[in-house]
């Protein structure tokens, strides 16, 4: 799972920005900090290269609403949605960007959850992130990532001198500390589960400090990302290219796979080269031995098998028995004993006997050849062996059935 870079904007480009890098796999903060204003976003460009960038917008700039529907949510209702909201907003609907969340129910009536923000303001932030090479994968209002209280209480945390609130799945708010009393009174003074020290709250409010979960606000938000299925990047603002995100997910695996592939190709290339070399050596040995057995003949390496067969046929008339059978048994000898070289071959057709005068590197080589031929059912008689410099010269008689 890739690391996440969270960036929380201000209401304007001149306000403070918070950022935090979080590892979901390790469940720990990698780094965090602040930027004095949006002009410093380039400081995060390198940090964003291999991470999933999530932008959090101030909740007082995003209005969440649940809209009752005449029927189950469908494409036609999606097209009519802006006109269904006209009576509930104070500005021209064309000035808003309306993002659609999940369908829900209001009692027995179908409904849809939506988020609305100023279109021009939203586009300005998108342009700023693009200008600083930040591919933003997901955008949400910050308070939406507060934990959800399961007993009807309101959860709250302080960020940049504001208190963020969440009541239920689709009701959030952002309030300056000086407005807390009026805001909580309007909410009916609900129980507050707070994730920051709460010293400014009126005494009439029942506070429940979640001290074991006190953390940096963005760290708390990062832990809730998987529990909130919503993204303001949708429709015409959907992220078209996610190459940076893809590379963040698969960079390690891609590097390992590339190294493995290159290594495999290199090894196979070396093995192929070695095999080709062995084939060429074997061809050269066959040609050399053929020329010694049949001096004065022209050798065609690609036709050597046919040439040997033809030469043997000439020696025995048209018969392929006798001499051919005996010499065929020599093939295994040449493949298993590399330093055994025949010098002359003499064949006695009447006795069906083949005399081989050969040169080898030592006495043991002749013994090895004798054992190989005997395993093939031949009668083998080894003649005298003599040293000839660095080699041993001797004679072997092969006898087959008469």
Compare 272 and 65 and report the one with higher pLDDT. 65
Query: Do residues 397 and 383 make contact, with C-beta atoms less than 8 angstroms apart?
Result: yes
Which domain does 269 fall in, by range? 246-314
- Would you tell me how many other CB atoms lie within 10 Å of the CB of residue 209? 14
Select from 271, 299, 314 the last residue of a domain.
314
When divided into structural domains, the chain yields a total of 3
Tell me how long the chain is: 402
What is the DSSP-derived secondary structure letter of residue 155?
Answer: E
Instruction: Give me the pLDDT at residue 59, please.
Output: 97
Q: Are residues 20 and 101 in the same domain?
A: yes
Q: Which pLDDT band holds residue 296 (cuts at 50, 70, 90)?
A: low
The C-alpha atoms of residue 200 and residue 203 are separated, in whole angstroms, by: 9
Kindly report, residue by residue over 20-44, the tens digit of the pLDDT.
Answer: 999 999 999 999 999 999 999 999 9
Instruction: Give me the pLDDT at residue 70, please.
Output: 92
Q: Are residues 345 and 285 in the same domain?
A: no
Query: Do residues 232 and 99 make contact, with C-beta atoms less than 8 angstroms apart?
Result: yes
Query: Do residues 129 and 158 make contact, with C-beta atoms less than 8 angstroms apart?
Result: no
Compare 291 and 179 and report the one with higher pLDDT. 179
Q: Are residues 17 and 115 in the same domain?
A: yes
Instruction: Give me the pLDDT at residue 250, please.
Output: 54
Angle at 25 between CA 21 and CA 29, to 5 degrees: 30
- What residues form DSSP beta bridges with 382? 396
Q: Are residues 104 and 132 in the same domain?
A: yes
Q: Are residues 328 and 286 in the same domain?
A: no
**Can you tell me whether residue 166 is helix, strand or coil?**
strand
Among 127, 146, 136, CA closest to 233: 136
The C-alpha atoms of residue 114 and residue 68 are separated, in whole angstroms, by: 11
Select from 314, 340, 365 the last residue of a domain.
314
Q: Are residues 72 and 202 in the same domain?
A: yes
Q: Are residues 114 and 100 in the same domain?
A: yes
Query: What mean pLDDT comes out for the span 293-307?
Result: 67
Using alpha carbons, list the distances in angstroms from residue 169 to 135, 186, 229. Answer: 28, 19, 11
Q: Are residues 225 and 163 in the same domain?
A: yes
Kindly report, residue by residue over 225-246, the tens digit of the pLDDT.
Answer: 999 999 999 999 998 755 444 4
Q: Which pLDDT band holds residue 294 (cuts at 50, 70, 90)?
A: low
The C-alpha atoms of residue 338 and residue 342 are separated, in whole angstroms, by: 11
The C-alpha atoms of residue 301 and residue 282 are separated, in whole angstroms, by: 11
Q: Are residues 135 and 112 in the same domain?
A: yes
Q: How many helices (H) and strands (E) does the chain have?
A: 8, 17
Rounded to the nearest angstrom, the gap between the alpha carbon of residue 222 and the centroid of all alpha carbons in its chain is: 24
Kindly report, residue by residue over 55-82, the tens digit of the pLDDT.
Answer: 999 999 999 999 999 999 998 999 999 9
Instruction: Give me the pLDDT at residue 320, please.
Output: 46
Q: Are residues 93 and 211 in the same domain?
A: yes
CATH of the domain at 161: 3.30.420.380
Q: Are residues 73 and 102 in the same domain?
A: yes
The C-alpha atoms of residue 394 and residue 377 are separated, in whole angstroms, by: 21
Select from 219, 237, 255 the last residue of a domain.
237
Using alpha carbons, list the distances in angstroms from residue 367 to 261, 331, 363, 372, 377. Answer: 47, 17, 7, 9, 16
CATH of the domain at 350: 3.30.1360.100
Query: Do residues 72 and 103 make contact, with C-beta atoms less than 8 angstroms apart?
Result: yes
Range of 12-16, 262-266, 377-381 with top mean pLDDT: 12-16
Q: Are residues 185 and 277 in the same domain?
A: no
- Whether pTM > 0.85 for this model: the answer is no
């Amino acid at each position: 799972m890739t690391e996440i870079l969270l960036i929380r904007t201000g209401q304007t480009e001149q306000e403070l920005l918070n950022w935090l890098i979080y590892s979901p796999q390790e469940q720990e903060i990698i780094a965090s900090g602040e930027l004095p204003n949006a002009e410093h976003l380039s400081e995060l460009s390198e940090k964003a290269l291999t991470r999933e960038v999530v932008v959090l917008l101030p909740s007082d700039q995003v209005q969440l609403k649940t809209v009752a529907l005449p029927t189950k949510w469908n494409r036609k209702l999606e097209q009519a949605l802006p006109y269904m909201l006209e009576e509930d907003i104070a500005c021209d609907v064309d000035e808003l960007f309306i993002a659609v969340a999940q369908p829900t129910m209001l009692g027995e009536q179908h409904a849809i959850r939506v988020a609305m923000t100023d279109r021009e303001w939203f586009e300005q932030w998108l342009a700023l992130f693009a200008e600083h090479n930040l591919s933003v994968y997901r955008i949400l209002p910050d308070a939406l990532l507060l934990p959800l209280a399961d007993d009807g209480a309101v959860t709250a945390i302080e960020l940049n001198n504001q208190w963020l609130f969440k009541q239920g799945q689709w009701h959030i708010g952002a309030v300056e500390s000086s407005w807390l009393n009026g805001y909580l009174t309007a909410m009916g003074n609900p129980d507050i589960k707070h994730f920051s020290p709460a010293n400014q709250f009126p005494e009439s409010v029942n506070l429940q400090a979640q001290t074991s979960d006190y953390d940096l606000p963005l760290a708390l938000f990062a832990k809730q990302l998987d529990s909130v299925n919503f993204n303001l990047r949708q429709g015409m603002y959907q992220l078209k290219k996610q190459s940076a995100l893809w590379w963040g997910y698969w960079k390690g695996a891609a590097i390992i796979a590339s190294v493995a592939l290159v290594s495999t190709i290199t090894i196979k290339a070396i093995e192929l080269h070695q095999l080709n070399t062995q084939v060429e050596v074997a061809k050269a040995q066959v040609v050399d031995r053929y020329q010694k057995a049949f001096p004065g003949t022209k050798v065609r390496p690609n036709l050597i098998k046919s040439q040997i067969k033809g030469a043997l046929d000439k020696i025995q008339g048209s018969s392929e028995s006798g001499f051919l059978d005996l010499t065929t048994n020599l093939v295994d000898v040449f493949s298993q004993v590399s330093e055994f070289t025949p010098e002359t071959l003499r064949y006695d057709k009447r006795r069906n006997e083949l005399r081989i005068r050969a040169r080898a590197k030592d006495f043991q080589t002749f013994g090895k050849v004798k054992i190989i031929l005997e395993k093939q059912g031949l009668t083998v008689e080894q003649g005298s062996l003599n040293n000839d410099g660095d080699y041993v010269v001797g004679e072997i008689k092969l006898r087959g059935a008469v």
